[in-house]
Structure formats: structure tokens, C-alpha cells
Amino acid sequence: MQVMLLIHADENAWPLMPPAARDAAMAAYGAYTAALREAGALVNSNRLLPTAAAHTVRIVDGAPQVLDGPYAETREQLGGYYLIDVPDMATALAWAARCPGAGHGVVEARPVMA
């Protein structure tokens, strides 16, 4: 089954981190990505630009309405994802718990509809 691991964190915290802490975080994500790849579970992953680069589109009275930024105001923003292929949700949750994002935010594990 494919499961999307959605990493939510406070995007304003990253620039405030000391460079050594950012380097350590990037190394942790690199090791995590390598572990997923070695296990044959990694389908895809990516880091997202900050919410200032986002746009929200909705249809109002039949016409598209485009807003800058995300629609929901929240303390934690979607910052990246891993799409993994695993045998079951228990395995997906084990990988989610290992994700470095779980240590500074939350990781949502959501199955992909087949």
C-alpha cells in the first residue's frame, strides 16, 4: 500500500535555528531518506517552499478565485512529504515515527486511495 507521510512544522522556526542545528537536521533527513531507499519503501519525497510561495484556488460562483498563501491559518505548515510503499499501516506508522519531522512537528500518515 502507498502511504503519504505529510510533514507539518512551524516554518518560522527553521531560519531561527543555529547553522549547526540546521546541518544536523538535514543530515537526519538524509539518513532517513537513505534508510527508506535501502528498505525499498521510498517512492518519492520532496521539501516544499514556504507558505509565502503557495496559492489557494477555489471556484466561487463558477469562476476561479486565487488567494496567496494557504487557506487555513495554523501554527504548523506542510513543509514536505514522503510517499512510501509498505505492506501495511503498521509499517507506515513505524516509518512515520522514525521521520525527523516527528521530533519538531507532526507527521501525518495518510493512505493513498487505490
Instruction: Note the pLDDT of residue 71.
Output: 61
Residue 63 neighbours by CB under 8 Å, 6+ apart = none
Instruction: Note the pLDDT of residue 72.
Output: 60
Structural domains in the chain, sorted by start:
2-111 (3.30.70.1060)
| Number of Cβ atoms within 10 Å of the Cβ of 107 | 21
Span 63-90, mean pLDDT?
Answer: 86
Encode pLDDT of 37-74 as tens digits: 999 999 999 999 988 888 888 899 999 999 887 666 66
Residue type, 42: L
Under DSSP, the state recorded for 17 is S
Q: Say how far residue 91 (Cα) sits from the centre of its chain.
A: 18
Output the CA–CA distances (angstroms, integers) from residue 35 to 25, 69, 107, in the order listed: 15, 33, 17
Instruction: Note the pLDDT of residue 52.
Output: 86
